[in-house]
Amino acid sequence: MGLDLIILGAASATPTSNQYTTAQLLKMREHYFLIDCGEGTQKQLRRAKTKFSRINHIFISHLHGDHFFGLVGLLSTFHLLGRTAPLTIYGPPKLKEIVLTQFRAAGTFTSYSMHFVVTQHKVPQVLVETDAYTISSFPLKHRIATTGFLFKEKALKRTLNKPAADAYGIPVCDYHWIKEGKNWISDEGKEIPNGALTLDPPQPLSYAFASDTMYTQDTAGYVEGVDVLYHESTFCEDKKARAKQTMHSTAVQAATVAKEARAKHLLIGHYSARYTDKTRFEEEAKAVFSKVYAARELYQYSIKQSGIKVKSLAPKKDEK
């Protein structure tokens, strides 16, 4: 159990010879969700050895190119690989028009259906809700309409404590009701409380994605208590004025949001190409919020209640 997050791209503005723009792949309850799709995302997915067919939902935060220029190429590749499963794409109002215009201009079509869901950039919005999880969007403050995304697991059912059930002589046919939370009553009329027969399920986890945005206290309110907050940190403090001008954030401002939200962990990224040393972002953020990770491309962040485990997925020959 747990969430697995793969950073496919963590740079801002433009890709370079060794950096890709924003894209992330989140695995939650055995489902795969692509968050933003910068140029080169499909190449990064291949390098991370993920299965394209497992992605059924794509979330686009806004229409600046470094967050969606890889989308049409990825959708085309899905078709060329023979995909038939429906795909749902969540994003700003004009995203559907942009995608379909390019396909029409090329005289192409897809072998699968695409469903577009328009996100609201002024109010929070529930986008997906199942028995296992909820995915919602929340407003961010940027130069154009932009939303963040909040992924939240729902609580699992309690699990049967088999040794305890055996000790009370409970028949297998009653296990279902016990798992549903009911007490058990013996033939003699003795009632055994459910808590004595079941074990607590693991606590549900949550992940929030906030990019791009300038610092605003509102963000903390939308992601209160989140297990892991990804918050853009395009600049360090030496470019704080530039951050304000472009409506981006510094590492310190990202850490401030994490602290205000009482997040358990902070992941920062969307680095400006001005900086070659990414440890500077992490050091500045840690002055405000201690549990900080600087996002690294083709690294997987396995999120559990006990903490975060990080490992590289990059091929050995080009691992940075």
Could you report the per-residue pLDDT of 122-160, keeping only the tens digit for each? 999 999 999 999 999 999 999 999 999 999 999 988 889
pLDDT at residue 51 greater than cutoff 90: no
Same domain, 164 and 289: no
Catalytic residue among 4, 36, 66, 277: 66
> In 98-134, which positions are buried (b, 16+ CB within 10 angstroms) versus exposed (e)?
ebeeebeeeeeebeeebebbebebeeebebbeeeebb
Q: Is the pLDDT of residue 318 over 70?
A: no
What pLDDT score was predicted for residue 71?
Answer: 98
The whole domain housing 297 covers: 3-156+202-318
| Amino acid 119: pLDDT | 98
Listed residues 171, 196, 221: the one ending a domain: 196
Q: Please check the confidence at residue 319 and state whether its pLDDT lies above 80.
A: no
Judge if 176 and 298 occupy the same domain.
no
Cα separation, 234 vs 269, whole angstroms: 7
Same domain, 280 and 177: no
Cα–Cα distance measured from residue 5 to residue 315, given in angstroms and rounded to the nearest whole number:
18
**pLDDT exceeds cutoff 60 at 117:** yes
Dmax over Cα atoms in the chain, in whole Å?
76
Residues 180 and 236 in one domain: no
For residue 224, CA distances in Å to 64, 127, 212, 227 come to 27, 18, 18, 9
Do residues 30 and 125 both lie within one domain?
yes
At 30-42, the pLDDT tens digits run 999 999 999 999 9
Backbone dihedral region for residue 51 (phi beyond 0: left; psi -120 to 50: alpha; all else: beta): beta
* Distance, CA of 294 to CA of 265 (rounded, Å): 11
Identify whether residues 150 and 235 lie together within a single domain: yes
66 annotated active-site = yes
* Reported confidence tier of residue 320, pLDDT bands at 50, 70, 90: very low
Query: 236 with 164, same domain?
Result: no
Count of domains forming the chain: 2
Q: 107 with 192, same domain?
A: no
Give the pLDDT confidence of 180-192 residue by residue, as tens digits: 889 998 888 889 9
* Mean pLDDT value across the chain: 94
pLDDT of residue 317: 66
Q: Which residues contact 223 (CB under 8 A, 6 or more apart)?
A: 138, 148, 150, 208, 210, 229, 257, 261, 263
Q: Is the same domain home to 115 and 208?
A: yes
pLDDT digits (tens, 9 = 90+) for 234-270: 999 999 999 999 999 999 999 999 999 999 999 999 9
